[in-house]
């Protein structure tokens, strides 16, 4: 278990995930059934990635409801958009492309990749795997899907950098599965030479004040904490990039 939160807290979170978190996986043309309550159209609501126009590199966030901001009121409360605000303040602005979708497994994310690769990508932030873990899906398939996303992104946009975001599996699936699940991310980070955030929800998982009533999805304050976790890994990738990966 990662430092910073207790086994009991993570177990409670995963029980909540087991009850609430397994939204049915949508196909690329499906409108999701649990779109976040946002006041403006989002990737989930209209079937396309939500883009915040800015100068600088184009950063695509491919992920689940954690990225899509399920339950948040405003798009700018989501952690990718909070990172955009941090980057603006730091003088390294970038274009935020939020391609999060509720219920997506790694296979679901892979199924959307051709569409995502149509436009230039300077940095891909890859947040997939949480729903694989919730469903106890094959860790081998998870690894293969994530590896294919990484390599196809590099094939389409050779100068693109990939930031892989790690997750944890529910502890009720057993020590062997949770260890194998964690190893998928650490091994990929090493073997595929990608930048790596060990655990997206560090400091957020199991903290009631940072999670919504479902105990799964972060509040606006939780998303702010997530952004602070990711920022030290993303900032170095932004420096010196002007956009338009070739």
Which tens digits make up the pLDDT trace of 169-220?
999 999 999 999 999 999 999 999 999 999 999 999 999 999 999 999 999 9
29 included as an active-site residue = no
Catalytic residue among 106, 122, 132, 217: 217
Least confident segment among 15-19, 117-121, 136-140, 164-168: 15-19
Supply the pLDDT for residue 240: 80
What mean pLDDT do residues 103-132 have? 98
Is the pLDDT assigned to residue 48 strictly greater than 80? no
Is the pLDDT assigned to residue 19 strictly greater than 60? no
3-state secondary structure 88-124: HHHCCCCEEEEEECCCCCHHHHHHCHHHHCCCCCCEE
d(CA 28, CA 245): 25
Angle at 54 between CA 52 and CA 60, to 5 degrees: 55
The answer to whether the CB of 213 falls within 8 A of the CB of 187 is: no
Catalytic residue among 65, 102, 106, 143: 65
Supply the pLDDT for residue 55: 77
d(CA 107, CA 228): 28
Is the pLDDT assigned to residue 11 strictly greater than 60? no
Supply the pLDDT for residue 53: 55
Supply the pLDDT for residue 35: 32
d(CA 184, CA 70): 26
217 included as an active-site residue = yes
Please, what are the domains in the chain? 45-238 (3.40.50.1110)
User: Residues 81-109: pLDDT tens digits?
Assistant: 999 999 999 999 999 999 999 999 999 99
Catalytic residue among 6, 30, 138, 214: 214
Supply the pLDDT for residue 36: 32
d(CA 83, CA 168): 22
233 included as an active-site residue = no
User: Residues 57-82: pLDDT tens digits?
Assistant: 999 999 999 999 999 999 999 999 99
The answer to whether the CB of 124 falls within 8 A of the CB of 154 is: no
């Amino acid at each position: 278990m990662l430092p910073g939160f207790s086994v009991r807290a993570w177990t409670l979170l995963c029980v909540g995930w087991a009850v609430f978190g397994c939204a049915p996986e949508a196909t690329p043309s499906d409108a999701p059934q649990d779109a976040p309550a946002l006041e403006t159209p989002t990737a989930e609501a209209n079937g396309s990635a939500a883009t915040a126009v800015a100068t600088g590199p184009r950063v695509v966030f491919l992920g689940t409801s954690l990225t899509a901001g399920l339950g948040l009121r405003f798009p700018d409360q989501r952690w990718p958009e909070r990172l955009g605000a941090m980057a603006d303040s730091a003088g390294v602005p970038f274009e935020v492309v939020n391609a999060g979708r509720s219920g997506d497994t790694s296979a679901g994310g892979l199924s959307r990749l051709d569409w995502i690769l149509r436009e230039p990508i300077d940095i891909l932030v890859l947040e997939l795997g949480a729903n694989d873990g919730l469903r106890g899906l094959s860790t081998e398939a998870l690894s293969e899907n994530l590896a294919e996303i990484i390599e196809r992104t590099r094939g389409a946009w050779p100068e693109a950098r990939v930031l892989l975001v790690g997750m944890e599996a529910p502890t009720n699936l057993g020590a062997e599965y949770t260890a194998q699940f964690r190893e998928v991310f650490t091994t990929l980070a090493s073997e595929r030479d990608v930048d790596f955030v060990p655990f997206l929800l560090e400091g957020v998982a199991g903290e009631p004040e940072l999670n919504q009533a479902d105990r799964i999805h972060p509040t606006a304050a939780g998303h702010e904490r997530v952004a602070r976790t990711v920022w030290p890994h993303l900032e170095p990738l932004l420096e010196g990039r002007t956009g338009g990966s070739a």
